Amino acid sequence: MKAIRIHEFGGPEVLRYEDVPDPRPRKDQVLVRIRACALNHLDLWVRGGIPGVKLPHILGSDIAGEIAEVGEYLTGFHEGQRVLLAPMHFCNHCEYCAAGSQTLCREFTVLGNGVDGGNCELIVVPAVNVIPIPEHLSFDEAASVPLVFLTAWHMLVDRARIRHGQTVLVLGAGSGVGIAAIQIAKLFHARIITTAGDEKKLAKAAALGADFGINHYQHKISQEVRRITNKEGVDIVVEHVGEATWGESMKSLKPGGTIVTCGATTGPNIAFDLRFLFARQLSFLGSYMGTMGDLHQALKFVFDGTFKTVVDRAFPLAETRAAHEYMQSSQMFGKIVLNP
Ligand SMILES: [Zn+2]
C-alpha cells in the first residue's frame, strides 16, 4: 500500500510518500480501507520528534473508511461497512480499561503517536476501535470528529464537570478542540465566550453556538471577559494554547473557577503566582484524550446532527506535506483531511 512515513524527525520535508507492505489482520482484528484521515496538531508534534515514536513511522490519528476484512473470531461487522475508528490504542484488559478509564492504561497511546496511524491506505485494529457511521456522514466528516470531540467531551464533562448555565471561555474557536468544545458547552446551555484571530472565524464560531467572540489580536482576552461578564469572570476555561494564553486564562476565571487543558500549542512552560491559585481557590486540570465511553457519548450527538462537523479542506494523501504546511499557517477553521 501507499503510506506517508517519516524516517527521521523534522519539518514537513521529512514526510515521505512510499510503498509499504499491506498490514494483515489477525483472527480477532478488523482490516479497514482508509478513505479519510484528519490532521491534528499531534501530527506536527510527532513529526518534529517526541519520545516513544519508533522510526520509520506512519502518522495520523483520525480515521474513517470501509471494512475490508473481518477476522473470523468477530461477529457484528461486515465487509464494506462504513466506519470510523476510535483514535487510540489500549490493552483492553487491565483494571483501568475494564473500568472504562482507558486513558489511564499503561499501554494507552494515540493512533499515529505510539503506534502507526492512518496516513496510508489500510490499517488493522481491534474490534473495540471500530464504530459504524450513518450514511449521511461523509468519510471526510467522520474523520474530522473522533480525536477532538472525544478530547473536548472528556475536558468539559469528565474533568471540569460542566453544569447547566455556566459561563465557559473556549480558546481558539477555529481549532478542532475549540469547535467541539463550543458545541458541547452549548449542549449544557452554557454562556460561551470564544477567541480567534479574525472576524470571519468569530462569525463561524457564533454560528456554532458561541455567544461572544474576542479577537485576540485586537483585545486583551481577560479584559474583554471581564467586560462581557460584568467583572464576574468565567467558570471554566478550555485551554490548549499554553504559554501564549495561560496568564490571560487565569485572569479570566471567577473565584473557584477551573482551567482545563489538553495541549500546549504555543509552548509548554508557564509560570504563575501560587497565591493567586490558592487565594482564589482555582482548579487547574489536565486532560488527555478521553475514554471509549466519552467517544460513544459525543458520537451520539454527531450522528443525530446536534453537533456539526467542520471540514476546512481536503488534500490527497500524496500531498500531506502541503497539508502540514497549511496547518502550520493557522488559516483553517475546522479540520484538514487527507484522502488516500
Ligand atoms: Zn489497559
* pLDDT greater than 90 at residue 330: no
Separation of CA 165 and ligand 1 centre (Å) = 36
Give mean pLDDT, residues 234-240: 97
Looking at residue 192, its pLDDT comes to 98
- The band of 235, judged by pLDDT with boundaries at 50, 70 and 90, is very high
Distance CA 115, CA 215 (A): 38
Give mean pLDDT, residues 83-105: 97
Buried b (16+ CB within 10 A) or exposed e, 259-288: bbbbbbbeeeebeeeeeeeeeeebebbebe
Separation of CA 308 and ligand 1 centre (Å) = 31
Separation of CA 97 and ligand 1 centre (Å) = 4
- What is the grid cell recorded at 124? 488493522
Looking at residue 245, its pLDDT comes to 95
Looking at residue 15, its pLDDT comes to 98
> Helix, strand, or coil here: 337?
strand
Q: What is the mean pLDDT of the chain?
A: 97
Give mean pLDDT, residues 177-192: 97
Separation of CA 95 and ligand 1 centre (Å) = 7
Residues 6+ away with beta carbon under 8 Å from 13:
321
- The band of 80, judged by pLDDT with boundaries at 50, 70 and 90, is very high
Q: Provide the percentage of residues in the chain whose pLDDT is more than 90.
A: 98
* Integer angstrom CA distances of residue 230 from 67, 227, 252, 276: 53, 5, 12, 21
pTM given for the model: 0.96
* pLDDT greater than 90 at residue 331: no
Near ion ligand 1, which residues have CB within 5 Å? 90-91, 94, 97, 105
Cis link prior to 134 (omega < 30° from 0)? no
The pLDDT tens digits for 112-149 are 999 999 999 999 999 999 999 999 999 999 999 999 99
Residues 6+ away with beta carbon under 8 Å from 82:
64, 65, 66, 132, 133, 135, 139, 142
Separation of CA 102 and ligand 1 centre (Å) = 6
The pLDDT tens digits for 254-297 are 999 999 999 998 999 999 999 999 999 999 999 999 999 999 99
- The band of 61, judged by pLDDT with boundaries at 50, 70 and 90, is very high
Q: Provide the percentage of residues in the chain whose pLDDT is more than 70.
A: 100
CB 19 within 8 A of CB 2: yes
